[in-house]
């Protein structure tokens, strides 16, 4: 079974631009979560989607948004990019929402975003 | 508000010895915990999990211990191998919150 895939793997943007990242979950997985990883900060939760509905959102500004499609694929968008948005963006999928407990999340390779 | 803490940013262990990575949490509602290993420029790889109804879970060389009263969990790797050198993250989830909270990671270096 194919793992979580993310595109693109690397991206360079300039301040003020916007960016859209894509995530395809493991087949059959309905929950997709997004995380931002910066040096020294660990993984910071952005949002989680289940059956096209956002179930939870982290403490990020409204410039960060996402959506999930009927096939469980997900996109996240960052508008008006800032230098501090440079990070590794990780997508993770699980069979069902973590709210059920016991649901392991499997991560994709990430998208490395550099904002100049 | 760091609900999940990994207070040791780095750890060095000799090959063949035991590696013990620690994780503390503050939210008593957390009921499921995961450990991940991460290499540079890759996504985290799932290692082992534990539910709050258990105090130990074992999978090959990896064992996770959970002490609910102390709000502490630890990952034991025995024996440690050079290929185990990576950053290790613990993560916790509370039922109904739809998210995992991650620690800041511990960099493990296994010396040959």
Query: Tens digits of per-residue pLDDT, B80-95?
Result: 999 999 999 999 998 8
pLDDT of residue B97: 80
pLDDT band at residue B1 under the 50/70/90 scheme: low
Measure the CA–CA gap between A3 and B57, rounded to whole angstroms: 25
C-alpha distances (whole Å) from B11 to each of A25, B2, B49 are 33, 21, 21
Whether B46 contacts B32, CB under 8 Å: no
pLDDT for B24 beyond 90: yes
pLDDT band at residue A114 under the 50/70/90 scheme: very high
The per-residue pLDDT of chain B, averaged, comes to 94
Residues of chain B contacting residue A45, judged by C-beta atoms under 8 Å apart:
99-102
pLDDT of residue A59: 92
Measure the CA–CA gap between B49 and A104, rounded to whole angstroms: 8
- Of the partner residues B36, B43, B93, the one whose CB lies closest to the CB of residue A108: B43
pLDDT for B42 beyond 90: no
pLDDT of residue B41: 79
pLDDT for B36 beyond 90: yes
Whether B106 contacts B41, CB under 8 Å: no
A85 near B CB under 8 A? no
Calculate Rg over the CA atoms of chain A. 13
Q: Which two tokens stand for residue B11?
A: 């750890």
Interface of B with A (CB under 8 A): 31-32, 34, 36, 41-46, 49, 51, 89, 91, 93, 95-105
- Of the partner residues B46, B93, B102, the one whose CB lies closest to the CB of residue A42: B102
pLDDT for A96 beyond 80: no
Could B34 and A104 be called an inter-chain contact, meaning their C-beta atoms sit closer than 8 Å?
A: yes
- Of the partner residues B49, B97, B102, the one whose CB lies closest to the CB of residue A104: B49
Residue A107, exposed/middle/buried by CB under 10 A (0-12, 13-18, 19+)?
A: buried
Per the DSSP assignment, residues forming a β-bridge with A32 are A49, A93
Cα angle, residue A103 at apex, residues B109 and B87 outer, rounded to 5°: 10
Residues of chain A contacting residue B31, judged by C-beta atoms under 8 Å apart:
101
Quote the DSSP letter at residue A100: G
pLDDT for A100 beyond 80: no
Whether B93 contacts B63, CB under 8 Å: no
Determine if the peptide bond prior to A8 is cis (ω within 30°).
Answer: yes
Query: Tens digits of per-residue pLDDT, A8-60?
Result: 999 999 999 999 999 999 999 999 999 999 887 789 999 999 999 999 999 99
pLDDT of residue A95: 87
């Amino acid at each position: 079974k194919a793992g979580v895939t993310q595109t693109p793997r690397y991206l360079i943007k300039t301040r003020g631009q916007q960016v859209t990242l894509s995530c395809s979950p493991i087949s059959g997985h309905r929950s997709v979560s997004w995380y931002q990883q910066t040096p020294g900060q660990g993984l910071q939760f952005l949002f989680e989607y289940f059956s096209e509905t956002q179930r939870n959102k982290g403490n990020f500004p409204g410039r960060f948004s996402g959506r999930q499609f009927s096939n469980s694929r997900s996109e996240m968008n960052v508008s008006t990019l800032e230098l501090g948005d440079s990070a590794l963006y990780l997508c993770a999928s699980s069979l069902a929402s973590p709210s059920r407990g016991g649901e392991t999340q499997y991560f994709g390779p990430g998208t490395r975003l550099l904002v100049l | 508000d760091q609900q999940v803490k990994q207070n040791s940013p780095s750890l060095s262990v000799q090959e063949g010895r035991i590696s013990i990575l620690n994780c503390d949490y503050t939210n008593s509602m957390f009921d499921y915990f995961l450990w991940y290993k991460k290499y540079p420029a890759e996504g985290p790889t799932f290692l082992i999990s534990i539910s709050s109804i258990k105090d130990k879970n074992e999978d090959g060389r990896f064992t996770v211990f959970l002490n609910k009263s102390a709000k502490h969990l630890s990952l034991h790797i025995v024996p440690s191998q050079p290929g185990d050198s990576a950053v290790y993250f613990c993560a916790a989830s509370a039922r109904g919150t739809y998210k995992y909270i991650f620690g800041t990671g511990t960099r493990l270096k296994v010396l040959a």
